[in-house]
Structure 1
Amino acid sequence: MKTSHFFLCLFAVTLVVLGYFEYRQQKVLNEQKPIPIITSLANSLLPIPKEKIKPEPITIMAVGDIMLGRSVNTKLQKQADFTFPFQKINSFFKNTDVVLANLESPFGENCPVTDTGMVFCADKNSVQGLKLLGVTHANLANNHINNQAKNGIELTNNILLQNKISSVGLSTGSGIIVSQIKNTKIAFLGLNDVPPYPKEINNLSKELLLKQLELATKSADIVIVSFHWGNEYQQKSKRQQELARLAVDNGADLIIGHHPHWAQEIEKYKDVPIFYSLGNFVFDQMWSKETRQGLVVKVVFENDKVSTYSALPIFINKDYQPETKTTP
């Protein structure tokens, strides 16, 4: 009987001891923290995906030739108001991200007040009109930009920069301009195909065009090419079409043309709009209906592609002001 009591007591003590050790082991396990290296390894194997920022819509407007010398300058001096040429149309450029223009006349010192001649000189104060219009980018790759020699090109570029307007088409550096618009990078190329060919600007060749397009497509989300090309007072040429399509084939998203002083055809090639010539915008060529007509282009980009585009006809009135109508 004593023996059985002994074994019962021993069994009870054993249960208590085992229970205590089980309790201690569980408590230790509960108090242990995860090993940091395991968490880090898990995160590296299963990275948390980052949400891609969706590009905001970009609205771009473009106009044709702006010449602020000769008879236009005479008018500005008489008016004593350098915003005068743009006062009947600037309201159409509100809420626009980019305004691109071809500046056909360089700024100069002591510009002569004259209504004749083919050497253009614009008063430095006439940049006020470009600002009123909201110009953000001015193409300088054209056949009149050296009318005031190298100093005139430098002066023009400096005045534009002081007024937060980017010069497009100068041959310095890579020859292209990349601007951050909202959360989108836009490359602007300006190329001249009309003599004389001043070395300070990009003069058009297929080799240069392809080189700049290669750089632009690597550097930007949208590529805009501004061509100064074609034949005056005519519709588009075969060369214009070949160059435009070459540009699109190599990454251009929008083609803007000028120089003929006529509004030329609009073409869509591989979903890219090609505006062969926007005609005149501010000019003193009053002798024909065609030279007084032009186009204002509006292009909207969504997700880095053209979503909509339109062309608004304008007519230059007797005071050299573009208006949104097709007859004087």
Structure 2
Amino acid sequence: MTPTRRAVLASSLAAFGGCLGRVSEVETACPAPVSTGETVRLGFVGDVMLGRNVNDRWREDPGGVWDGMAGRLDALDGLLLNLECCVSARGERRPGREYYFRAHPGWAIPALERAGTAFASLANNHVLDFGPTALTDTLSHLDDAGIPTAGAGRDREAAFEPATFAVGDLEITVVAATDQSPSYAARSDAAGSAYAPLKPADRLTRNWVGDAVVRARERDPDLLVVSLHWGPNWVVEPAEAQRSFARWLIDRGADVVHGHSAHVIQGVETYEGRPIIYDAGDFVDDYVVKDGLHNDRSFLFELVVEGGELAALDLVPVEIQRERVTPAVETAARWLRDRMRALSAPFETPVERRGDGLRIPLGGC
């Protein structure tokens, strides 16, 4: 977090009620801050599901899952994602589930490394698909690979513990939580996810998510990210409760709200110069494509940080083809641009054309 941001936060942590924030005009130009230091590009994507058919197809070619996106991923300083599966060769299926996602560590870890994964959120409704043994393996495999995680752990305290790591000149802290699958919630004596209802008025949310944000802020990072696996599937607009909670988080020091879970993209809001990605959609999976929703299309969201200041959010159109992520073809890219403009319009978010994709200026404009 920048010194200016820290000073504002220290002087006034706004109360939740009535905090509506300032929004910008659609399609207006907004100059990025002049860089006084290193430019860092951080990629944010939604669900990365490496199990089932993805696991079967790419076990002999871990880098193939990124297909034509490899060069773009290489140009990033780090990638932050939601890992929508456990990474293990062990465990038993948890009873009563419809879908089970597990990737073999022999290829999944090299694939994540090949993508330049700087952080993997485990706060989701699939970390316990194969029980606590597979979750423990997932934590161990990622830790051994040097990939920081948050959002799941061997007990509740560990699940809500923020992750802190460096990307370039930036020190980043991430808090991860989910409102999905309460039966997967970590307990004081059991492994699981960082589950909470994700509503500011809820005591559990205040106690666990609120406290985690306080602990994260006390570390004084350059960038504080909150990664949320939230809301129902196949819904293209965030609920008012999600909007309120996202703003509540920024009022308390978050610099980026990184949402995922719906399997489709939702709009982006800029609040106090900070981006709220309500849902980043799916980046890699083998899911059936829903009519009209195009859940096989999403963006690589590239956060541009110049001289320690948030400058812009670049949206690179992508699509999933045969269990791999690829650059979106022209028709898909056009659809994604039009859809994002329409979904972001209610927030009065400035959206500009940038090549095949879009740019959302940041930095207090």
Provide TM-score, normalisation by structure 1.
0.76
- Closer, same or farther: CA 282–173 of 1 in aligned 2, 3 Å: closer
Q: Deviations over 1:298-321 (max 9, x none)?
A: 00223433111111121111x111
3-state SS of the aligned residue for 2:275? strand
CA distance in 2, matches of 1:321, 1:201: 27
What is the 5 A alignment of 1:99-248? Answer: 99-109=79-89, 118-125=99-106, 126-170=108-152, 171-172=157-158, 175-196=161-182, 197-199=184-186, 200-204=192-196, 205-219=205-219, 220-235=221-236, 236-248=238-250
Q: 2:80 aligned with 1:88, yes or no?
A: no
CA distance in 1, matches of 2:37, 2:129: 41
Residue 173 of structure 1 deviates from its aligned partner by: 7.7
Residue 57 of structure 1 deviates from its aligned partner by: 3.1
CA distance in 2, matches of 1:95, 1:75: 26
Q: Deviations over 1:4-23 (max 9, x none)?
A: xxxxxxxxxxxxxxxxxxxx
Amino acid paired to 1:249: D
Unaligned regions of 5+ residues in structure 2, if any?
Answer: 1-35, 187-191, 197-204, 333-365
CA distance in 2, matches of 1:284, 1:325: 17
Structure 2 residue corresponding to 1:61, chosen from 29, 32, 43: 43
CA distance in 2, matches of 1:160, 1:257: 21
Q: Deviations over 1:35-62 (max 9, x none)?
A: xxxxxxxxxxxxxxxxxxx763332111
Q: 2:62 aligned with 1:75, yes or no?
A: no
Unaligned regions of 5+ residues in structure 1, if any?
Answer: 1-53
Structure 2 residue corresponding to 1:292, chosen from 287, 291, 296: 296
Residue 181 of structure 1 deviates from its aligned partner by: 3.1
Say if 1:55 and 1:183, in contact at 8 Å, map to a contact too. no
Say if 1:70 and 1:117, in contact at 8 Å, map to a contact too. no
- Once superposed, what is the RMSD of the aligned Cα atoms? 2.2
3-state SS of the aligned residue for 2:295? helix
Higher relative contact order (CA 8 A, sep 6+): 2
- Closer, same or farther: CA 144–174 of 1 in aligned 2, 3 Å: closer
The structure where helix makes up a greater share of residues is 1
Amino acid paired to 1:119: Y
3-state SS of the aligned residue for 2:300? strand
Amino acid paired to 1:247: L
What is the 5 A alignment of 1:262-277? Answer: 262-277=264-279
CA distance in 1, matches of 2:269, 2:129: 32
3-state SS of the aligned residue for 2:250? helix
Amino acid paired to 1:90: A
Partner of 1:33: none
- Closer, same or farther: CA 183–287 of 1 in aligned 2, 3 Å: closer
Percent pairwise identity: 25
Q: Deviations over 1:229-281 (max 9, x none)?
A: 01100021122111111101100001111000001111111111111111111
Q: 2:309 aligned with 1:305, yes or no?
A: yes
CA distance in 1, matches of 2:255, 2:124: 21
Amino acid paired to 1:323: T
Alignment size in residue pairs: 269
Amino acid paired to 2:217: T
CA distance in 1, matches of 2:216, 2:234: 32
CA distance in 2, matches of 1:193, 1:173: 13
Q: Deviations over 1:66-108 (max 9, x none)?
A: 111122223235xx22322112212101232221011001012
